[in-house]
Chain A
Amino acid sequence: MVLPLPNICSTDSVPDTFALEDAPLASKHETLSLAQVVPEAGNCVQCGMCSYNCPMEIDVRAFAWRGKPIRDSHCLTCAECVNRCPRGVLRFERVSLLTLK
């Protein structure tokens, strides 16, 4: 199965909450590592604030229900859903391209 890759053009679009500074500089894999939104399903109250505010109309709430990372090729990693969630359910997590098999 080929999973769509999150759409990050530059590291500028990676939000602060995603601690890039921790990464030792520029091994080949790490240059290719990306961020994705990951839910903590147990805290989600399915309020829908995330989906409502997603500029790409991704149904973030449905991912949160299933506890699945938001793997949608349209995700801009803009952090709108992460910041709007009133329950702190969503966060960014680094994904290495190598794990996206």
Chain B
Amino acid sequence: MPTTHVIIGSGIAGLCAAESTRQIDPQAVIRMVSEEPHEFYSRPGLAYFLRNDFPESQLTIRTPEDVAALNLQRVHGQADKLACDTHEIVLKDGRRVRYDRLLLATGALAVPPPFPGGNLAGVVTLDGLDDCRKIIAMAWSGYPAVVVGGGITALELAEGLNARGMKVEYFLRSTRYWADVLDETESKIVMDRLRHEGITIHTETQVKQAIGSDGRLTGVETQAGKHFPCEVLAVAIGVRPRIELAKQAGLLVGKGIAVDQYLQTSAPDVFAAGDCAEVFDPVSGKPTLDVLWPTAIVQGRIAGANMAGAARPYVKGVPYNVTMLAGLKVSIIGAVSGGAANEDLVAITRGESEAWRVVPKSWVVGADDDVNRVRLVVGDCTIAGALVMGDQTWSRPLQQLIIGKVDITPIRPALIAGGAEALTQLAKFYREWEKRV
């Protein structure tokens, strides 16, 4: 009898798991349960669809031939209950799906608006394609929109609505953007560019309530009592892993679903991967969340293999992300903390790792003009993290030095002294290191 693998979630972790299981076990029955009926698509790509950079069809990441070759049975529906003892999941509509091995790849969802009026039509969050379609349908050119939150998704919403011609008012609770990851100058660079794009930023501004009539949003009132009329209120104050199924079934959970190094949960034959999983981080000694696309890929592949009988350990790597902030490329590698708390978020944001927020002291080693910057977080004998903004020449070398935990003791004083000389020394050091490896 072939083994029945059930995967809950059709995101990138679920897809990679299916591909990896299929590679090992051509006979396996693979059922994928998902509430999203869509073809496999790129979630990060939604930002560019929202911005009208390309049509929706461009989001699809697998050809029909690739999908057919996977030989998946897709089940459209929401998993409502997990019964570990009978190895079954129960869907909301009552259908039951039996499993030999189960993968929870349920991802994360935006934290709902915490203020009154959060359920009015016109108040939106961005988690998936359906949200994106809805937002685009509401984004009428020339009309006002308010965006609330920090991190990458908030910016993508602000820039997307702006690109669609809406008059965007962006509210920040604190005095600057993404204060726990970016330093003051980096925040300022991003904020200046957003203003230049035509977005109005209101610092130290909080929503008191969303106001509407007949269930439809008409505006927001701030804590300071100011009123802003708006058609759309987009909220991106963080995400939470979807752990309800696991929790209700009595699995061990923290902020995410707790897994061991083989990505197995506390229940036999049940695995978890991607945004919903909470993996032990040997560096900090704590369980950590990574809400990152590359992490979801790696975890999906490993979980899929292990479900098919392999015993591959997951080793948490150095988290990194290259992203666009206000049209500027920014690489965030390892620990980079911006030195302040982020009041705009109540939870971790998308495209972020908790590991980024830990180290307090850093040195700017190259800031040759308004937008191009390299900031290093220098540890005792290694570079612990880096933020490369603008020109990305340094992104790859720094990724290698940081991920490889390369001993930089000989140039440490030069790095800490900062300035252009630090980069010259680093370049020399890197070239020699590269030759050796």
**Per-residue contact bits, chain A 21-46, to B (CB 8 Å; 1 contact, 0 not):** 00000000000000000001011011
* Contact A46/B331 with A61-B61, A88-B392 known, Cβ cut-off 8 Å: no
Query: Does B42 lie at the interface of the complex (its beta carbon under 8 Å from any beta carbon of A)?
Result: yes
**Are A47 and B322 in touch, CB under 8 angstroms?**
no
Chain B contact residues: over half helix, strand or loop, or mixed? mixed
Among residues 219 to 235 in chain B, which have CB atoms less than 8 Å away from a CB atom of chain A? none
With most chain A CB atoms within 10 A of its CB, the pick from B12, B58, B59, B392 is: B58
**Are A88 and B54 in touch, CB under 8 angstroms?**
no
Q: From the candidates B293, B320, B323, B395, name the one contacting A86 in the complex (CB within 8 A).
A: B323
**Per-residue contact bits, chain B 43-65, to A (CB 8 Å; 1 contact, 0 not):** 01101100001100011110000
Q: Interface residue tally of chain A, by bracket?
A: 10 to 19
**Are A87 and B322 in touch, CB under 8 angstroms?**
yes
**Are B322 and A46 in touch, CB under 8 angstroms?**
no
Q: From the candidates B12, B45, B47, B331, name the one contacting A88 in the complex (CB within 8 A).
A: B331
Query: Does B396 lie at the interface of the complex (its beta carbon under 8 Å from any beta carbon of A)?
Result: yes
The residue on B at minimum CB distance from A89 is B322
**Are B396 and A40 in touch, CB under 8 angstroms?**
yes
CB distance from A57 to the nearest CB of B (A): 12
**Are A86 and B61 in touch, CB under 8 angstroms?**
no
Among residues 31 to 70 in chain A, which have CB atoms less than 8 Å away from a CB atom of chain B? 40, 42-43, 45-49, 51-52, 61, 65
The residue on A at minimum CB distance from B403 is A42
* Contact A46/B45 with A40-B396, A52-B58 known, Cβ cut-off 8 Å: yes
**Are A88 and B61 in touch, CB under 8 angstroms?**
no
Contacts of B329 in A (CB 8 A): 86-88
Q: Interface residue tally of chain B, by bracket?
A: 20 to 34
Contacts of B293 in A (CB 8 A): 45-46
Contacts of B58 in A (CB 8 A): 48, 51-52
**Are A52 and B44 in touch, CB under 8 angstroms?**
no
Contacts of A47 in B (CB 8 A): 42, 44-45, 47-48, 59
**Are B53 and A49 in touch, CB under 8 angstroms?**
yes
**Are B44 and A45 in touch, CB under 8 angstroms?**
yes
**Are B331 and A45 in touch, CB under 8 angstroms?**
no
Contacts of B392 in A (CB 8 A): 88
Q: A45-B293, A48-B59 are in contact. List 13 more A-B contacts (CB 8 A).
A: A46-B45, A46-B293, A47-B44, A48-B42, A48-B45, A48-B58, A48-B60, A49-B53, A52-B53, A65-B61, A86-B329, A87-B324, A87-B329
Task: Give me 15 A-to-B residue pairs in the complex whose CB atoms sit less than 8 angstroms apart, sorted by A's number.
Answer: A45-B45, A46-B12, A46-B42, A46-B44, A47-B44, A48-B54, A48-B59, A49-B53, A51-B58, A65-B61, A86-B324, A88-B329, A88-B331, A88-B392, A89-B322
Chain A positions near chain B (C-beta within 8 angstroms)? 40, 42-43, 45-49, 51-52, 61, 65, 86-89
